[in-house]
Amino acid sequence: MTITIALSKGRIFEETLPLLAAAGITPLEDPETSRKLILPTNRADVRLIIVRASDVPTYVQYGAADLGVAGKDVLNEHGGTGLYQPLDLNIARCRMMVAVRDDFDYDSAVRQGARLRVATKYVQTAREHFAAKGVHVDLIKLYGSMELAPLVGLSDAIVDLVSSGNTLKANHLKAVEEVSAISSRLIVNQASLKLKRAAIQPMLDAFAGAVGK
Ligand code: PRT
Ligand code: MG
């Protein structure tokens, strides 16, 4: 019985490596240099698949992967259908923020009840956030480089992830409101957990031990 784990390249892969090691799993190739999308590991019964960060929940939902690691940002947009989310891995941490141009008075725009144009990749998250605040927004869906939108008049505000804050600063933007704290979770296909419990449960326990829970 093979266990397939879906990961994205970059920070999630890097920060998941020590957790995999705690479960006795070592990838045999580096996704940054390999062109393979299916990576073997030291364990004949465990393989990794490398997918786009926002595609990880989809692979796990349909059982094409048994396990995966995905940010709460991605999970909130996906909705979580068919996924068991047993563990916050506390990795790839950042904050989902509302940001505007340095010279834009966000608080007064909100106070005056202005209708705000908000550009974001996280439409679902943004809709929930502004609805809860009672702020009327027109959402503009983008797929990347949200920071550009307020600079060229596409939007008044963006909803995006911030870690160091350097990207905002370099583009004369400021964060004005936190939407939520973000970290990555372990996700598990619900059917896999039942059918492959003997193989999966020890991995969950090892991950939980490595995370300190
Ligand atoms: O890059 P790609 O379009 O393929 O997908 P992705 O951006 O979703 O994937 P990836 O690998 O970049 O991010 C995977 C996960 O890492 C995200 O889903 C988040 O949960 C988490 N994460 C943690 C981040 C960041 N920190 C982060 N800083 N994801 C993105 N960023 C970006 C942010 O969007 C902004 O453009 O980094 C920029 C800001 O960084 P600072 O340091 O300048 O503030
Ligand atoms: Mg990215």
Q: Exposed, middle or buried: residue 130 (CB in 10 Å: 0-12, 13-18, 19+)?
A: buried
Q: Exposed, middle or buried: residue 74 (CB in 10 Å: 0-12, 13-18, 19+)?
A: buried
CATH number of 3-92+183-211: 3.40.190.10
Cβ atoms of residues 185 and 69 within 8 Å:
yes
Residues 177, 129: Cα–Cα separation, whole Å: 10
**Which residue CA neighbors atom 33 of ligand 1 most closely?**
161
Determine if ligand 1 sits within 6 Å of the CB of residue 8.
yes
Residue 33, strand partner residues = none
Q: What is the CA radius of gyration of the chain?
A: 19
Task: Quote the pLDDT of residue 212.
Answer: 83
**Which residue CA neighbors atom 39 of ligand 1 most closely?**
162
Determine if ligand 1 sits within 6 Å of the CB of residue 169.
no
Could you please state the CATH topology (level 3) that the domain comprising 94-181 is classified under. D-Maltodextrin-Binding Protein; domain 2 (3.40.190)
Task: Quote the pLDDT of residue 91.
Answer: 98
The ranges assigned to domains in the chain are 3-92+183-211, 94-181
Task: Quote the pLDDT of residue 195.
Answer: 97
Q: pLDDT in tens for each of the 213 residues of the chain?
A: 899 999 999 999 999 999 999 999 999 999 999 999 999 999 999 999 999 999 999 999 999 999 999 999 999 999 999 999 999 999 999 999 999 999 999 999 999 999 999 999 999 999 999 999 999 999 999 999 999 999 999 999 999 999 999 999 999 999 999 999 999 999 999 999 999 999 999 999 999 999 986
Determine if ligand 1 sits within 6 Å of the CB of residue 193.
no
Determine if ligand 1 sits within 6 Å of the CB of residue 97.
no
Identical fold for domains 3-92+183-211 and 94-181, yes or no, is: yes
CA 10 to ligand 2 centroid distance, Å: 8
Residue 38: name the closest of 188, 53, 29 by CA: 29
Task: Quote the pLDDT of residue 180.
Answer: 98
Ligand nearest to the CA of 163: 1
Task: Quote the pLDDT of residue 213.
Answer: 64
Determine if ligand 1 sits within 6 Å of the CB of residue 11.
yes
Index of the ligand 1 atom closest to the CA of residue 146: 36
Index of the ligand 1 atom closest to the CA of residue 167: 43
